[in-house]
Amino acid sequence: MTVAVSLRDLSCVFHSAGKTVNAVSHVNLDIDAGEFFTLLGPSGSGKTTCLRMIGGFILPTSGHVAINGQDVTQHPPYVRPVNTVFQDYALFPHMSILDNVAYSLMVRGVDRNTRTRRAHELLEMVQLPDLATRKPAQLSGGQRQRVALARALISEPQVLLLDEPLGALDLKLREQMQTELKALQRSLGITFVFVTHDQHEALSMSDRIGVFNQGRLEQVATPGELYHRPATRFVAEFVGAANVLLGAQAQRYANAQAVMIRPEFIRICDDADPSPRVKGKVGDVQFFGAFWRIQVQPDDGGVALLVDLPVQYFANAPAAGQQVGLSWDQSAMHVLDGATQS
């Protein structure tokens, strides 16, 4: 497997208004060629800064960036074999869609016929063949997003950097674009480095995900590994809903310092399942469409457990105040190391 992007001990420190911000701290990461890699983390965790250091828009305070094995740490953006799709799309408002898409070819001095032909091909690819003569203001948000994508892809980058490219779209359109973007990435075989704070988006689109927390890369893993075997409490709680149990409660259930159980792995005991691990009282009950999420306060103390019940099995969810028994398989418990430092 060829490594497309390699980050070595990469850090970025900002000084502003007398404060020091460690935006990115000692990140080590190898992204494979052809991979759909996502940088996931809450707002302010360093995702954009990291992406901009790959693109060359921010110089690292220390550490190295290599692309296709070549150290590009000191290279300006325009000589790197990468391109960026920005969150706000940054289209030129006075230019036609065609000229926006063809822009980077024009800058490079490619002749008009060639760049017009290529721009039409790219607009075809993002399914906007009929909008070439319009201006950006005459397009919907989703259409502008596609134009930004076409414009970034026309220069045939080996690596495409995407900073929350779907953030401005409403839910339905965002889900549609997730599918299209993933399909496009597969068919082109280009390495995508994709930034999002949305765990659902990250889980559904990525080959691998790197989770950022306060400038540090907490874990790099496939979506499945991240979800089922989070390395830290932070990852467990940021990626999906999690019961993270500590201290005496973790001792009781798992003979460990800290353990995680996903809510959908806990079931309510019935006649076929007569010996619950925990007995408790139902508190809050929430309807999510596909499932019910209930909170159960254990009789023997500790924090309340979140339990997700598939909607088809429970026409009516257990009511608040009801006593229930809960159980789960041994394999549903994931012991967290170093989990107390959240």
Nearer to ligand ADP, 23 or 231 (CB): 23
Nearest distance, CB of residue 335 and Mg ion, angstroms: 33
Please say which residue, 43 or 330, places its beta carbon nearer to Mg ion: 43
> Which residue's CB is nearer to Mg ion, number 48 or number 206?
48
Q: Which residues pair with 249 in a beta bridge?
A: none
CA-closest candidate to residue 166, choices 179, 152, 185, 153: 179
Q: What is the DSSP code string of 150-168?
A: HHHHTT--SEEEEESTTTT
Taking the complex as a whole, the smallest distance from the CB of residue 167 to ligand ADP amounts, in Å, to 11
Nearer to Mg ion, 48 or 185 (CB): 48
21 binds, among ligand ADP, Mg ion, none (CB under 5 to 8 A by kind): ligand ADP
Nearest distance from C-beta of residue 181 to Mg ion, angstroms? 18
38 counts as binding Mg ion under rule CB under 5 A: no
Q: How far is the CB of 24 from ligand ADP (least distance, A)?
A: 7
Helix (H) or strand (E) holding 26: strand 19-32
Spatial distance between the Cα atoms of 194 and 85, rounded to a whole number of angstroms: 10
Q: Is 196 in the site for Mg ion (CB under 5 A)?
A: no
Chain centroid, CA 342 distance in Å:
20
Residue 120 near residue 102, CB atoms below 8 Å? no
Binds 44, which of Mg ion, ligand ADP, none (CB < 5 to 8 A, cut-off by type)? ligand ADP
Binding site for ligand ADP (CB under 6 A): 14, 16, 21, 23, 41, 43-49
Task: Specify the stretch interacting with Mg ion by CB under 5 A; choose among 40-48, 115-123, 139-147, 255-263.
Answer: 40-48
Pairwise CA distance, residues 273 & 243, whole Å: 22
Tell me: does residue 48 bind Mg ion (CB under 5 A): yes
Residue nearest to Mg ion (CB): 48
Q: Closest CB to ligand ADP among 53 and 139? A: 53
In angstroms, what is the minimal distance from the CB of 148 to ligand ADP?
18
CB of 31 to ligand ADP, least distance (A): 17
Cβ count near 161 (within 10 Å): 26
Find the distance separating the first CA and the last CA of the chain, reported in whole Å. 34
Q: Which two tokens stand for residue 198?
A: 């949305």
**Could you give phi then psi for residue 52, rounded to 5 degrees?**
-70, -30
Phi-psi label, residue 174: left if phi above 0, alpha if psi -120 to 50, beta otherwise: alpha
For Mg ion, the binding residues (CB under 5 A) are 48
